[in-house]
Amino acid sequence: MAAAERPAIDLADAFVMEAPALADWLIVAPLVIGFIFAALCLMTRKDTGRQPVIAIAGLVLILLSVAGLFVHVLANGTVVMAMGRWLPPFGIAFVADTLGATLALISGIVGLATGIYALREADNTERRYGFYPFLLMMLSGVICAFLTGDIFNLYVWFEVLLLGSFGLLILGSRRDQLDGATKYAFLNLIATTLFLIAVAYVYGLFGTLNMADIARKAAVMEEVGPRLTIAALFFFAFAMKAAAFPLNFWLPASYHTPRLAVGAVFAGLLTKVGVYALLRILLTIFPADRDDLAIAIAVVAAASMMLGALGALAQTDMRRVLGYLVISGIGIMLAGLALGSATGLSGTAFYTAHSMVIMTALYLLVGIVGAAAGTFDLHRAGGLYATAPWLAVVALILAFSASGLPPFSGLWPKIFLVKASIDVGAWWLAAAILLSGFLTTIALVRLFAFAFWRPANPDMRSMTLGEVPVARLGLPVLVGLCGLTVIAGLYPEPFIQVSDRIAFELMNPVGYIDAVYAPMPIQPAAAEGAVQ
Amino acid sequence: MEIAVAALTGLYFAVSIYLMLSRHIIRILLGTVTLSTGANLTIFAMGRITREVPPIIPAGHYLPADGAANALPQALVLTAIVIAFSLFAFLLVLVMRSYQELGTDDTYAMRDAEPEGEPLPPLGY
């Protein structure tokens, strides 16, 4: 080729020269596996018997790869891979720090749990219309959003997961689903477009889209105005994604309409991507602007917790109770972001992981409860303690864990967050956390009391678990998820260590920046090259 | 040139917000399309608009000529257009289906997922 005629060029100026270590490939494995298996599921669309087997194999492989990545990151620190070998900031970089790897791991668990549960819930029509391809694509989108180190690429993953979630949400096309999906689709699309506008401003201001590069340039930028505007726009867009008050109205309108497995995976993953993006943008990239926005974030956090808990109390439909509890949990996660201290962020990291598992488990639980009781209506359900005592045990564990009562995993992050609030004198934030926990206890224990304790309604025939198809696989899945919350509650030490490490990394973005730029000592010419 | 594009972008945003404030789903849909067009124009303007010099590297050189246009925003805009278009196509079908099923495009009347006048949850048993 023409290269032979040219003078020798030092490719090391533009490319990562050494091949990535074998273990580093794990960072792209979830993407590759997810897309390949989604394509395979699409090809076997009409073979409704074989397609679930392929999908579960894909979900297991994704879980294994993210678990491997998590172990690798814990052992060796932040993992970076530059796409096309282009040196940062030119190529798209995938960066797995402890936060990204932890959330990816939990997403893998949530994805597999709901995939197994859906084996008995999604019927053949839904399989033919692409339940499993949508699930795999959405899961890949979520995991890649946690792992990407490029802000425009983050936008692309938001759209990937959004499209997957649209597909899952409207499977079945009932009236209430179409109604809920319309609101969900419009509000999420507007939020993503606002995110894109903020990305455009970032590009205009910094001339780069690589997160580490933006963080480097934002740190030395003198003018506060434009940077704060961008940070505020990101906060608005991601708060909408995370369903924080007052931008939460799409969530309770839509999450109760699809299958419970779909609600479970949505509640476990989607809003948390918004929380993750907020942590990444406001702590790694614009830490100075987080300080300026802290009061606004704290008010949004307290309002979300209280509105979510009060909303949950006002619902008669069990699924809609859970929709409001998701919002309440988002408020608690934002509290740590508002505080910004090591204790607070550690609490947020722990609570996010806890909430992903617990909200998924609660949706799956309500799926079994609804199927066994024959209704989701709190007025009519009843008598399940007699027919399904073990389900009652699981339900009580989950209710206690979600409310933050000992000895389950919800307790520790709330202690951290309350302590961090009191440390800075934000007693009202501590009070909101405790009060919302109290109201959540009432909402969930009331659900337990009506659905389980109350004698069966004579008009309704409540079934034993043997007669409920979703329970056969759903109950073992639920027991597994409960096991996680019990272990994290009784022996929290390793979990706290990981969340402390996440908090440390978030508070010291230098580590993140150095990890991305490790392949290349900083060259002024290369760093300036992207700016016109 | 940037000022003209900025004014045009502002006009797009104004139109889109006006449309999205409507109660009717089809107007909201047009509003979101306008919003994403405005976003694309924003990206385009943010790459700085230069004229005359195409971003093509002449033979025998390794760098584009001085003052060459920035090609990256076009890649970004292209990606954003493709995504926005596919979402628009999906939303169009969704809106049509929900109009057929629900018989209305008025968001005040779309109360199937959250019916009005629901009873309070049971207060005791």
Instruction: Kindly report, residue by residue over A430-484, the tens digit of the pLDDT.
Output: 999 999 999 999 999 999 999 998 888 777 776 777 788 888 888 999 999 999 9
Nearest-CB residue to A203 (from B47, B86, B111): B47
Interface check for B8 against chain A (CB to CB < 8 A): the answer is: no
pLDDT tens-digit profile of B14-32?
999 999 999 999 999 999 9
A117 bridge partner residues: none
pLDDT of residue A400: 94
Per-residue tokens: A467: 């007669």
CB A401 within 8 A of CB A485: yes
Asked whether the beta carbons of residue A185 and residue B91 sit closer than 8 angstroms, the reply is: yes
Q: How many CB atoms lie within 10 A of CB A532?
A: 12
Contacts of B94 in chain A (CB under 8 A): 166, 170, 178, 181-182, 185
Q: Tell if the CB–CB gap between A179 and B39 is shorter than 8 Å.
A: no
| pLDDT computed for residue A525 by the predictor | 45
A247-278 pLDDT, tens digit each: 989 999 999 999 999 999 999 999 999 999 99
Percentage of chain A beyond pLDDT 70 is 96
User: Worst-scoring range by mean pLDDT, A157-171, A395-409, A484-498, B51-65?
Assistant: B51-65
**Between chains, do A152 and B76 touch, taking CB under 8 Å as contact?**
yes
- Round the average pLDDT of chain A to a whole number and report it: 90
| Residue A63 backbone phi and psi in degrees, to 5 | -60, -45
CB A326 within 8 A of CB A403: no
Q: Which of A152, A185, A254 minimises the CB distance to B113?
A: A254
Residue A3 confidence (pLDDT) above 60: no
CB neighbour list of residue A220: distance below 8 Å, 6 or more residues apart = none
The answer for A 277-296 residues in CB contact with B (under 8 A) is none
Shortest Cα distance, chain A CAs vs residue B102, angstroms: 7
| Kind plus residue range of the DSSP H or E element containing A370 | helix A342-373
Q: Is A53 on the interface with B (CB under 8 A)?
A: no
| DSSP result, A18-67 | SPPPGGGGGGTHHHHHHHHHHHHHHHTTT-TTTHHHHHHHHHHHHHHHHH
Give the pLDDT score at A7. Answer: 59
The chain-wide mean pLDDT, for chain B, equals 88
Angle at A44 between CA A40 and CA A45, to 5 degrees: 110
Is residue A211 within 8 A of residue A95, CB to CB? The reply is: yes
Hey, which residues 34-73 in chain B have their CB within 8 Å of chain A? Answer: 35-36, 38-39, 42-43, 45-48, 50, 62, 70, 72-73
**In degrees to the nearest 10, what's the CA dihedral of A316, A318, A324, A327?**
180
Residue range A7-61, pLDDT digits in tens: 567 777 778 877 788 888 899 999 999 999 999 999 998 888 889 999 999 999 9
Q: Write the residue in A155, A183, A532 that is nearest to B70 by C-beta.
A: A532
**By CA distance, what is A8's nearest residue in B?**
B62
Question: Does residue A517 have a pLDDT over 90?
Answer: no
- How many contacts, defined by CB atoms under 8 Å, are there between A and B? 120
Mean pLDDT of A194-214: 93
Contact A263, A319 (CB under 8 A): yes
Contact state of A196 with B80 under an 8 Å Cβ cutoff? yes
Using a pLDDT cut of 90, give the percent of chain B over it: 51
Among A111-120, A369-378, B28-37, which stretch is predicted with the lowest mean pLDDT? Answer: A369-378
CA distance A520 to A320: 51
B116 touches chain A (CB under 8 A): no
Residue A519 has pLDDT above 80, yes or no: no
Q: What is the mean pLDDT of residues A64-72?
A: 95
For the cut 70, the answer to whether the pLDDT of residue A420 exceeds it is yes
Q: How confident is the model at residue A528 (pLDDT cuts 50, 70, 90)?
A: very low
Composition of chain A by helix, strand, coil, percent to 5: 75, 5, 20
Test mutation, B26, B110, B123, chain A, max A CBs within 10 A: B110
Q: Which of A159, A196, A318 to mutate to test the interface with B (most CBs of B within 10 A)?
A: A196
- Coil, strand or helix at A82: strand
CB contact under 8 A, B113 and A180: yes
Residue type at position B93:
V
Give the pLDDT confidence score for residue A388 in this predicted structure.
87
Q: What is the mean pLDDT of residues A137-164?
A: 94
Q: In sequence order, what are the beta bridge partners of A86?
A: A15
Whether A82 and chain B come into contact, CB under 8 Å, resolves to no
Domain boundaries, chain B: 2-52+71-102
**Closest residue in chain B to residue A180, using alpha carbons only:** B113
| CB within 8 Å: A201 and B114 | no
A200 and B101 within 8 Å at the Cβ level: the answer is: no
Q: What is the ipTM of this complex?
A: 0.94
pLDDT at A6: 58
Residue A127, min C-alpha distance to chain B (Å): 20
Residue A526's pLDDT band (cuts 50, 70, 90): very low
- At residue B67 the predicted structure's pLDDT band, cuts being 50, 70 and 90, is confident
Q: What is the pLDDT of residue B2?
A: 82
Whether A182 sits inside 8 A of B94 (CB atoms) is: yes
Q: Where are the domains positioned within chain A?
A: 14-505
Q: What is the mean pLDDT of residues A221-225?
A: 86
Q: Nearest-CA neighbor of A454 among A366, A363, A387, A364?
A: A387
A170 and B83 in contact by Cβ < 8 A?
no
pLDDT score of A527 more than 70? no
- The predicted model gives A485-510 an average pLDDT of 93
